[in-house]
Amino acid sequence: MILLAAPMYGQQFTWEKQTFSAINSIAKVVELDGAKVLEVTRDLVKSPFDINNIENSVDGPTFVKLANTDIENGIIEVKMLSKIQVDSPFPQARGFIGLAYRIDEANTQFENIYLRPSNGRADDQLRRNHTVQYFAYPGYTFSRLRKEANGLYETYADIGLNEWIDVRLEYQGEKVTLFINNQKSPNFIVNKMLGKSTRGSIGLWVEVGTIGYFKDLKVTKN
């Protein structure tokens, strides 16, 4: 891997002819597998992680946010790859990587679907069932939804760490569908999203212990 640009903390930057802001995250343009890609990690200074209070220190606004974007219904397409940091502050890190959407201007409300790639091929079926996750910020964390909805907001997918994953996310009204690796049928469906935000920007999202890589981003208003 070759570093092509200095880390970007909070300020706006351009990638693939689009302008972004790093929100509670650190972004770099690097070369991976012969292509220039965006590397994103959570900024643990701006967004501290407390291993003794996990529920209240995850599933937050830790993303790079597309500037000058206000979408109610749309389609997001991107390729993503995740690795687990060598010195991860969270030993149970799963390579958390995903997409935030309908992000309000102040980053206080948004919807999100993310992947846990290391779960996808685990020998434990329960872990496999937790490969794909929906949450809504604020309030509807993975932990709360797992307790109250018994698996309705997560599912299995055949994915893994250190490999490019094609993701297509379509959201319309209260419904969102996720397609992985060009499957014809959705891998995941949420028929009634829980967030209060009805429109906004999109974000390339990562969580603690993850090095996330993104390329070939395409956003379409529906």
| pLDDT-derived band at 11, boundaries 50, 70, 90 | confident
pTM comes to 0.94
Q: How do strand 201-206 and strand 63-66 relate by DSSP bridges?
A: antiparallel
Q: Which two tokens stand for residue 161?
A: 């760490």
Q: Which two tokens stand for residue 153?
A: 């907001």
Query: What ranges in 118-164 are assigned the alpha helix state H?
Result: 125-128, 142-149
Q: Is the pLDDT of residue 3 over 80?
A: no
| pLDDT-derived band at 8, boundaries 50, 70, 90 | low
pLDDT digits (tens, 9 = 90+) for 14-53: 998 999 999 999 999 999 989 999 999 999 999 999 999 9
For the chain, the first-to-last Cα distance in angstroms comes to: 36
Question: Per DSSP, which regions of 88-181 are E strands?
Answer: 97-103, 110-115, 132-137, 154-155, 165-172, 175-180
pLDDT digits (tens, 9 = 90+) for 167-204: 999 999 999 999 999 999 999 999 999 999 999 999 99
Architecture per CATH, domain 67-221, reads as Sandwich (2.60)
Tell me what pLDDT residue 99 has. Answer: 98
Indicate the domain borders of the chain. 67-221
CA distance 90 to 207: 10
